[in-house]
Structure 1
Amino acid sequence: MQHIHACNHTTPEALYPFDARGIAKRFRHAAIFGALDALQPGETMRFCNDHDPLPLLAQLQQRYGAHLNIEYKQREPGAIVIDFAVVA
């Protein structure tokens, strides 16, 4: 069965794809933090990964608190898509 991965869909201008699967594991969190730090309020990063990043989500909550909304778009084994939206 072929999965339709939500990360492959076209996105509006304020929605930026970030595919963590192509980044070496030792650099992933730093790359994710850098990408999120570059976003302006109202912009969203669509994060794609092959596993549910629960430790990362805890770190993001500590670092950004209420300034970051986290919404799962797809949550299947091997296909995780999460929108990280920056709020003012």
Structure 2
Amino acid sequence: MVHDCSIPVLAEGVYEFDARGVAKRFRHAAIFGALSALKSGETMRFCNDHNPLPLLAQIEQHFGTGVKMAYVSQAPGEIIIDFHVAT
């Protein structure tokens, strides 16, 4: 499956977040801010150039079961993860 994170055509309630365009020093703060802004039932589709394992652990620790994570793609240079806020 090929996904182009620059094309914001997604289902209703799914919001794109392409971390590749955010300066590395601001990424974690921007991601946590975006996740905190999501409402119940909404999803953030996160795109990154690498698998952010430390970030995923931080998200799990901070949000617990309130945010579910699911990989959409693990292609080299294009990691796509859906973060879904529980209802």
- What's the CA shift for 1:6? 5.2
The equivalences for 1:1-88 within 5 A come to 4-5=2-3, 7=5, 8=7, 10-88=9-87
The CA distance in 1 between the partners of 2:68 and 2:32, in whole Å, is 14
Percent pairwise identity: 59
Q: CA contact under 8 A between 1:17 and 1:47: conserved in structure 2?
A: yes
The AA in structure 1 aligned to 2:3 is H
Q: Which runs of 5+ in 1 are unaligned?
A: none
TM-score, with structure 1 as normaliser: 0.91
Q: CA contact under 8 A between 1:49 and 1:79: conserved in structure 2?
A: yes
Query: What whole-Å deviation, never above 9, does each CA across 1:6-61 have from its counterpart, x for those lacking one?
Result: 53462012000000000000000000000000000100000000000000000000
- Give the length in aligned residue pairs: 86
The AA in structure 2 aligned to 1:46 is R
Further displaced range: 5-14 or 60-69? 5-14
